[in-house]
Amino acid sequence: AQKITQTQPGMFVQEKEAVTLDCTYDTSDQSYGLFWYKQPSSGEMIFLIYQGSYDEQNATEGRYSLNFQKARKSANLVISASQLGDSAMYFCAMRDRGSTLGRLYFGRGTQLTVWP
Amino acid sequence: EAQVTQNPRYLITVTGKKLTVTCSQNMNHEYMSWYRQDPGLGLRQIYYSMNVEVTDKGDVPEGYKVSRKEKRNFPLILESPSPNQTSLYFCASSLSEGPLDEQYFGPGTRLTVT
């Protein structure tokens, strides 16, 4: 079974608008971390935001916020006031205690395009 | 500045010619890992290391070797590269293997094997 599911292969948003990128996860662990990464066309993997399973408040980092709904096992990324530079691939990822390799499980990604 | 560095960033080589991709972190992290990213397959873990001299296989270790002689360095070695190892490679590090620790990624190495 997929540990991380991103159901939107591509999303389009107009500049200055907000956009939500969906992510659902699957784990039976109580202790886990959820991460979002941005990968521009240049290829590097840029960390955006993190949510721990015990965090009661949704994480925020500047224009990025994470809509964490634990019961639904969803961790959607919200980008407010989109900018042209936000056009990139976005990956949701998870690390849990069941992961003896310490690895991150990645979703397949969502390609976001911001248009003027 | 806290960072993970990889070298080279781009490499084109021929089948069978041994190569090493270096990875170094300056954050005193115990955990380091290598991933490869391929279209349609996402990111897959190749090898990881919990600490100096402690390494183990990830999901796709065939054709790769690693070593961890110093805490900061975790090189990836391809003894006899083949075209199916053409990929984008990432080194990552984190404080530990724990689920609440963020993994910091290097800038990536684009490898082409002809």
Tens of pLDDT, residues A61-102: 999 999 999 999 999 999 999 999 999 999 999 988 766 667
- Contact residues, A window 40-59, toward B, CB-based 8 Å cutoff: 43-47, 50, 52-53
What does the pLDDT read at residue A1?
Answer: 64
Q: Is the pLDDT score of A15 beyond 70? A: yes
Residue numbers in B near A31 (CB within 8 A): 99-100
What does the pLDDT read at residue A54?
Answer: 92
Query: What is the three-state SS of chain A?
Result: CCCEECCCCEEEEECCCCEEECCEECCCCCCEEEEEEEECCCCCCEEEEEEECCCCCCCEECCEEEEEECCCCEEEEEECCCCHHHCEEEEEEEEECCCCCCCCEECCCEEEEEEC
**With b meaning 16 or more CB within 10 Å and e meaning fewer, what string describes B19-46?**
bebebbbeeebbbbbbbbbeeeebbbbb
User: Residue length, chain B?
Assistant: 114
- By C-alpha distance, the chain B residue nearest A98 is B99
Residue numbers in B near A43 (CB within 8 A): 88, 107-108, 110
What does the pLDDT read at residue A70?
Answer: 95
What does the pLDDT read at residue B96?
Answer: 85
Tens of pLDDT, residue by residue, chain B (114 residues): 889 999 999 999 999 999 999 999 999 999 999 999 998 788 899 999 988 888 989 889 999 999 999 999 999 999 999 999 999 999 999 998 887 888 899 999 999 999
* Residues contacting residue B22 through CB under 8 Å, at least 6 positions apart: B5, B6, B7, B73, B75
